[in-house]
Amino acid sequence: MAFAKKGAPRRRFGRRKGCRFCADSSLKIDYKEVRTLRYFISERGKIVPRRISGNCATHQRKVTEAIKRARNIALLSFTSNRTVD
């Protein structure tokens, strides 16, 4: 019979986040707006994927490009700001 295994973890699907840039047209993606871009960077300095950030594909590509440009001219750091002791 096709039953789920007793100890198997179940997948939980939460509510899908909507793209904040599609919802509010006044928000613009710009590499000079570091405060907006920080939301899309993890603590380790990695770019957050769109399944977590909730961006649509078009805006995720624009956010990624803006983060890379901001990193290139040193507005954002490539890694986290933590120091290793």
Task: Summarize pLDDT for 24-82 with one digit per residue, the tens.
Answer: 989 999 999 999 999 999 999 999 999 999 999 999 999 999 999 999 999 998 887 66
According to CATH, the topology of domain 20-73 is 30s Ribosomal Protein S18 (4.10.640)
pTM for the complete prediction?
0.76
What residues are paired with 8 via a beta bridge?
Answer: none
Interacting residues of 19 by C-beta distance below 8 A, sequence separation 6+: 54, 55, 56, 59
Report d(CA 31, CA 37) in Å as an integer. 8
Report d(CA 15, CA 77) in Å as an integer. 32
Interacting residues of 52 by C-beta distance below 8 A, sequence separation 6+: none
Q: Is 32 in contact with 75 (CB distance < 8 Å)? A: yes
Q: Where are the domains of the chain?
A: 20-73
